[in-house]
Amino acid sequence: MPRTVAQVVSQYGPKMRARFVPACKKAGMAFPPKPLTLLAFKEENQLEIWSGRKKLAQYPILAASGDMGPKRREGDRQVPEGFYRLTVLNPNSAYHLSIRVDYPNAEDIAHKSVERGRMGGDIYIHGNQVSIGCLAMGDAAIEEIFPLIATVGLRNCRIIIAPVDLRTRPVPDSEDAWVKSLYIRMKKALKVFV
């Protein structure tokens, strides 16, 4: 039977609050924390959740396919790289629960290498432990992340997906000027998350 977002928040909200209410208190902020920035690091397989300059949680990414570099086309098995919004909460995902990432965004489209209709899409942060281009967090983690995003509100959330943790590592080399520029902008943007 299909679930609603409200039903998922009712079911998993206590688990989420048990983690994030104390984290907010420790950080000296009210719950729910707004806005949220999720940081995903592909090489390190880590997802961090920040509000302002305070890190509230960190989770291992259990599965993410592809290599360093942005997603270019449908079927390339790449996790996108860039600055994204979270746009849809899916309480009836085939992967337990899922949150849609707005790939391709305007920047991806501006630098596309294939027709717009062949760029792919349906990139999610989701449960389970399998992925083809998405960030699979496992069911236990998504049961905390999904109700947090639902409580905070999609419009108050964004995600930066980086090839590596650019706070501690150099900007990766790329022959593509746009990708190199993207990585440099990411490195600057990530400086506040320390």
Which of 24, 96, 126, 157 is an active site residue?
126
144 close to 151: Cβ distance less than 8 angstroms: no
Find, among 193, 7, 30, the residue nearest to 97 by Cα: 7
Residue 170 main-chain phi, psi, to 5 deg: -70, 160
Question: Catalytic: 134?
Answer: yes
Active-site residue flag, 126: yes
| Marked catalytic residue, from 24, 96, 134, 157 | 134
What lies within 8 Å, CB to CB, of 188 at 6+ separation is none
Contact 74, 120 (CB under 8 A): yes
- What own/partner pairs with CB < 8 Å and gap ≥ 24 does 24-31 have? 24/51, 24/56, 27/51, 27/54, 27/56, 28/54, 29/54
Residues annotated as catalytic (active site), given as ranges: 126, 134
